[in-house]
Structure 1
Amino acid sequence: MNKISELINKPKINVIGLLIGMLISWIIGMSTDLPQSSGHGGFIPLVYPPIIALFFIGIFYISRIFSKKYNWIVSLFGIIYLLYFGIDFYLIENI
Structure 2
Amino acid sequence: MISILNNPKNNIIAVIIVEIITLSISFSADYSGTGMIAVILKWIPALIGITTLILYFVSRLLIKKYNWIVTIIGIISMFIAAYNLYITDFSQTV
TM-score by length of 2: 0.87
Which among 50, 57, 61 is matched to residue 46 of structure 2? 50
2:11 partner amino acid: N
| RMSD of equivalent CA atoms | 1.6
Equivalence for 1:23: 20
Partner Cα distance (1:86, 1:28) in 2? 6
Structure 2 gaps of 5+ residues are none
Equivalence for 1:79: 75
User: Which one has the bigger helix percentage?
Assistant: 1
Structure 1 gaps of 5+ residues are none
**What is the aligned residue count?**
91
Check the 8 A contact 1:26/1:45 in 2, yes or no.
no
Post-superposition shift, 1:79?
0.3
TM-score by length of 1: 0.86
1:70 partner amino acid: Y
Using the aligned pairs only, state the percent identity: 30
Q: Which runs of 4+ in 1 moved over 6 A?
A: none
